[in-house]
Amino acid sequence: MKRIVICIAACLVAMTGCGQKKKSRKDILHAPDQLLVQTPLNLAGISPSERDDAKFNRCIAGNGNPEALAGCNLPYLELQETTREEQVAQVMSHTLISHDWQTERFRSFLLQTRPELVSMLSCVKGIAISTDIRPSFYYPPSGAIYLDARYFAANEEEAKTVSTRPDAREENYDQINLLFFSVDTAMPETIEDARRLDLEGLLAHELAHACDFKAAALTGQYLSAALPEAPHNAVYYLAQWLFFGDANAKDQLATYTPAEIGRSYEESPIVDIYGYGNQFEHLAMIVQNHLAFEFDGNNRVDLLTDNPKENENLRDFPIHWGMTGKFCQPQLFEEGRAITARTVPMPFAFQKTIADCTSIVHEAGTAVHQVLGLPESR
Q: Is the pLDDT of residue 75 over 80?
A: yes
State the pTM of this model. Answer: 0.87
Contacts of 317 (CB under 8 A, 6+ apart): 179, 305, 306, 308
Residue type at 117?
L
Contacts of 3 (CB under 8 A, 6+ apart): 187, 188
Give the closest residue to 345 by CA, choosing from 108, 93, 77: 77
Beta strands at 300-306 and 178-184: parallel, antiparallel or unpaired: antiparallel
- pLDDT at residue number 305: 87
Give residue-wise pLDDT tens across range 124-138.
999 999 998 888 999
Which of 6-20, 103-117, 288-302, 356-370 is the least confident region? 6-20
- pLDDT at residue number 34: 41
- pLDDT at residue number 373: 55
Residues 268 and 233 sit within 8 Å (Cβ to Cβ)? yes
Give the closest residue to 40 by CA, choosing from 22, 63, 24, 17: 63
Pick the more confident residue, 65 or 331.
331
C-alpha pair distances (Å), 92 with each of 47, 107, 120, 147, 179: 8, 7, 14, 14, 39
Residues 340 and 286 sit within 8 Å (Cβ to Cβ)? yes
C-alpha pair distances (Å), 218 with each of 113, 175, 207, 302: 27, 42, 16, 36
Contacts of 287 (CB under 8 A, 6+ apart): 204, 205, 208, 339, 340, 343, 344
Residue type at 303?
L
C-alpha pair distances (Å), 320 with each of 209, 305, 317: 33, 5, 9
Give residue-wise pLDDT tens across range 4-23.
233 333 332 333 433 223 33
Omega within 30 of 0 (cis) for the link into 135: yes
Q: Is the pLDDT of residue 179 over 80?
A: yes
- pLDDT at residue number 269: 93
Q: State the Cα angle at 312 between 182 and 8, rounded to 5°.
A: 20
Beta strands at 144-148 and 126-130: parallel, antiparallel or unpaired: parallel
Paired strand residues for 180? 304
C-alpha to C-alpha distance for 69 and 57, rounded to whole angstroms: 10
Q: Within 10 A of 255 (CB to CB), how many other CB atoms are there?
A: 9
C-alpha to C-alpha distance for 152 and 234, rounded to whole angstroms: 36
